[in-house]
């Protein structure tokens, strides 16, 4: 299988993309805060920390659950910061809108992006972090997560998360199984091809031996040994 189509190469490429996305948050989070007439320093500082953590993880950790989990957390902080930075009732581009609730859509975007790992666990980690964030802030500082407090809104968002993540779990499992079958098929084909080449080489070697033996017999029949002996006997 070409390396560009292997599961490991897709995951490695996804990690590189997600690190760039984390760095994009460093610029976007303070921009959201400025649109909402809020302080941009705190969102930018947290986004910078998350981007550095994602970069170090991609640099130091080998591909696996640990790396994917760290990247999932760092990505999820993107919408968390957007929702925080966009709090208030002046967060639209025109300055008179209420876009905080709209930034929640980016949570679903993060869940969808994490399917590039073809692993349901980073999605589950991101969804769990989202649920904890929504629940705790709605109880403690509701204005940092929703324009108006209310567990009913948290429950509505939770239902949407469960529905999307359920489908994404199934999708990643199906794609993962497909890749494993494809890799098994490639391995089987490679073994069969190697064995066929070995058999072909053995057949060619056997035919060559038979041909050499046949030519040697025909030479002996055409030129008897007595002829060669007489050629070697010196004249008296």
Sign for the pseudo-dihedral over CA of 127, 48, 17, 185: negative
Per-residue pLDDT of 193-232, as tens digits, reads 766 777 777 777 777 777 767 677 767 666 555 554 555 5
Residue 111: pLDDT above 70? yes
| Longest CA–CA separation in the chain, Å | 129
User: Is 233's pLDDT higher than 70?
Assistant: no
Rg (CA), the chain: 34
Summarize the confidence of residues 7-31 as an average pLDDT. 96
Does the pLDDT value for residue 163 go beyond 90? yes
pLDDT score of 63:
92
DSSP code, position 114: G
Mean pLDDT over 33-43 rounds to 92
Buried b (16+ CB within 10 A) or exposed e, 143-175: ebbbbeeeeebbeebbeebeebbeebbeebeee
Q: Lowest-confidence range among 8-12, 115-119, 222-226?
A: 222-226
Higher pLDDT, 104 or 189: 104
Instruction: Average the pLDDT over 139-156 and give the result.
Output: 82
Residue 119 has phi, psi (to 5 degrees) of -155, 125
What is the distance between the alpha carbons of residues 36 and 54, in angstroms, rounded to a whole number?
27
Query: Which pLDDT belongs to residue 225?
Result: 56
pLDDT category of residue 168 using cuts at 50, 70 and 90? very high
Share of the chain above pLDDT 70, in %: 80
Least confident of 84-88, 97-101, 102-106, 212-216: 212-216
Q: What is the pTM of this model?
A: 0.76
């Amino acid at each position: 299988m070409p390396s560009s189509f292997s599961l490991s190469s897709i995951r490695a490429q996804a990690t590189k993309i997600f690190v760039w996305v984390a760095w994009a948050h460093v610029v976007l989070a303070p921009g959201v805060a400025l649109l909402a007439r809020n302080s941009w320093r705190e969102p930018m500082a947290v986004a910078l920390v998350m981007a550095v953590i994602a970069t170090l993880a991609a640099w130091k950790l080998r591909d696996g659950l640990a790396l994917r989990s760290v990247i999932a957390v760092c990505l999820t902080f993107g919408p968390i910061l957007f929702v925080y930075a966009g709090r208030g009732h002046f967060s639209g581009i025109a300055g008179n809108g209420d876009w905080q609730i709209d930034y929640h859509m980016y949570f679903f975007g993060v869940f969808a992006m994490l399917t590039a790992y073809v692993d349901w666990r980073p999605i589950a980690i991101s969804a769990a972090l989202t649920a904890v964030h929504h629940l705790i802030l709605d109880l403690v500082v509701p204005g940092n997560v929703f324009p108006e407090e209310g567990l009913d809104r948290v429950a509505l968002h939770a239902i949407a998360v469960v529905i999307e993540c359920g489908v994404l779990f199934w999708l990643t499992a199906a794609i993962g199984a497909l890749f494993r079958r494809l890799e098994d098929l490639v391995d089987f084909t490679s073994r069969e091809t190697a064995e066929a080449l070995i058999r072909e080489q053995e057949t060619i070697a056997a035919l060559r031996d038979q041909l050499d033996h046949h030519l040697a017999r025909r030479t002996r029949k055409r030129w008897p040994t007595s002829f060669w002996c007489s050629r070697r006997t010196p004249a008296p």
